[in-house]
Every structure is written in C-alpha cells, then in structure tokens.
Structure 1
C-alpha cells in the first residue's frame, strides 16, 4: 500500500504519494497553477498524470460530477492512492475515479471505485460540516465541533441513527482521530458508498483497519 501526506494551507494544496517500489508522485495546486511530478523522473508518467489531473480539476463543480471542490478531489486522490501498489495502478484507478475516458478501464485489483454519491465538506465555526447525498436518494448531514456532534438523516431511522451517533461520539471522544480527521474519514467513506447502510458498514471497516 502507498503512503500519503498532504498539505492544505490557504491556496496551497499538495499531495505526496510514496509507493512500495520507491517511486513518489507529488501533486500540487496553488494560485500559480497545477503541477505533477514523478520521482525517479519519468516524463511519460508525469505527462499522463498531469493530463488526467487537469481534466479532473476542470470538471470540479459540474452538475453530476462527484467532486464539488478541489479539496474534495485531492482527498479522493489520496484515498485511491492508499489502495494502489504502483504509479501505473494509481493512474488506471485515477482515470476511472476522475471519469477521464468515456469507457472506464477494467478495475485493477485493490482499487475501489467511487459511487455517484456527492459529498460536501466545509469548515463550520469551530468544527466541520459534512453533507452527503447518496445515489439511493438518502442523505445525511453531520456537524462536528469541539463540544458536540449533530446528525440528521433523510429518511430518518431511529435505531440506525442512534447507533451512528453512538459510534461517532465514541470516535470523537478518543484521543485520535481529530475532528478534522473524523470529518475527512466520514467524507472519504461516503464517496465509496451508495446508501447510508453501506456507508456505516464502510466506516466500521475503515475503523477496524486503523
């Protein structure tokens, strides 16, 4: 599995991916533009990645596109990278995630493809707000701040919603993750879920892997 690190500081977004074979991909976006580099230097791979990345970023915010902000796209790329074993595998998965081609390639082993769920993540006061709209028609809104957690689902299911609140409250009360990490985890799992039940199952799986 690849290791990742990212920097989000004002207008600067940077994602660095370190693959098991020793190769590294760095994706950067700031007010001066977007760039992709591959080390050891591989011009062809860098060109392919750059083309895919620019294609994907140009579609951010379009109706029906799974990413509504550049931040979300970077987080989606990071999630995908963690399942990839090489730059080539990452590229193939990335083409499908960013919907670069009209005909998606055959999925690679270990690559998860996102659903058509739309997830918005935004800062809210002293915390974070997550709004997920699933392809099933279900929706949830989650507010995480220093003092509490708020959850609203449509349609509501009291037993399920109570279990979700219990799980999220337990996670928030733990030393890790931070509120931001928890919000990002909620968002990342939602991207790969088609309904709330699948999201909850995915969240349990993600927690057990930590």
Structure 2
C-alpha cells in the first residue's frame, strides 16, 4: 500500500495485492480517483510487456512514490505519472518553446542486459545513463567534459564494486535525480547517498 499526502490536505491511497488493485482519494473526488485509477491500472497491465520500462509492480509503486515526493499538487503528480508510467517504445522528442517549470522527470527502463536512466531536470539539463553488464555509458546535455569525465570515473568505480547491483545502482541514480534540480546537485546527492550506505 502507498499513501500520499499533498500540501492541500488531499490524501491518495494506492493498494495492490491479492484482492486486486485500487486507488482512493480523501476527500472524495470522483474525477481525480478515476484518472489515477486509469493510469495505475493501465501501467500495471503493461508490466512485463516488451518495450514497457517497468518490469514489476514494485517498480511501478516505487516510481509513483518517488514522483509523489517531488509533486507540489495532485495535478502535478498526475501529469508526472502520465509522463513516466504511460510510456511505450516512444522516444523523447526535443521540446520547442518555453516550458513551465516542472519537477525533475526521470525514466528508468530495462535495456538488454542492463538499465537506462534518463533524467530531465527543473533547470533544463538532461542526462542519459546506460548501465550494461560490462560497461557504463553517460551522455549529458549540455555536456561538460571535465564534469562528465569525473562522473564516468565515479560511476565506473561504483559498478566495479561488489555492491550495489546494476539494478540497485539504476534505482539509486533515479531516486537521487528526483530530488535534484540539476546535474551538479545530483552528483553531490549520489556521493552523499553512497557515503551513507552501511558497509557490509
């Protein structure tokens, strides 16, 4: 079960289990409940399909929880869910014109023997990280060679360590990106997160 409380006092409860899947909203709002239920049902039905980035119900719930932390309102949350959960085989197209500020949008998808994390930050920066069985690929927009080289070194060191696993690393990259407003802040957050992890 996932319970999300928004600043305006609205609470969303998402339940998934043996008795089925449901979404409820307090205070009751039929339109919002139906919109959230529709997105949730659609995404959980797509789990495991070729081309759909989420491979388990846990990943869908985790994605919802991460989005909820950065959403200031339920409308922003629904907009983010549509962008993150309702994806299939479609490639991001360059945006034209001025966009209104929105929370960082991060997409995690399986790719062959690894994972791809794509992030678009509040300030317009983007990155794409590919974690494969034998390698790591990094691309940033706009690129900064010195910083990007340091990021590659840092991520390669992490990948070479016994822990975290590739999936854990991809999830960590995704979670830290959600709380960051640009790549520099994300890198700082990654260093902090790794430093805080208990050593076995």
Could you say which TM-score interval applies, normalised by the shorter chain? 0.5 to 0.7
Within 2, Cα distance between the matches of 1:171 and 1:95? 26
What is the CA-CA distance between 1:74 and the residue it aligns to?
1.9
Partner of 2:117: 130
Secondary structure in 1 aligned to 2:176?
helix
Q: 1:148 to 1:34 in 2, by over 3 A?
A: same
TM (normalized to structure 2)?
Answer: 0.58
Partner of 1:28: 16
What is the CA-CA distance between 1:208 and the residue it aligns to?
1.4
Within 1, Cα distance between the matches of 2:153 and 2:182? 19
TM (normalized to structure 1)?
Answer: 0.56
Secondary structure in 2 aligned to 1:184?
helix
Large movers: runs of 4+ above 4 Å: 46-61, 68-73, 76-80
Q: 1:185 to 1:95 in 2, by over 3 A?
A: closer
Contact 1:189 1:203 in 2 (8 A): yes
RMSD, matched Cα: 3.9
Contact 1:95 1:101 in 2 (8 A): no
Q: How many residues align?
A: 148
Is 1:185 matched with 2:172? yes
Q: 1:174 to 1:134 in 2, by over 3 A?
A: same
Partner of 2:73: 99
**Which moves more between the two structures, 51-60 or 119-128?**
51-60
What is the CA-CA distance between 1:57 and the residue it aligns to?
5.6
In structure 2, the gaps of 5 or more residues are 4-12, 43-52, 77-101
What is the CA-CA distance between 1:159 and the residue it aligns to?
1.1
Q: 1:131 to 1:186 in 2, by over 3 A?
A: same
Is 1:171 matched with 2:158? yes
What is the CA-CA distance between 1:147 and the residue it aligns to?
0.5
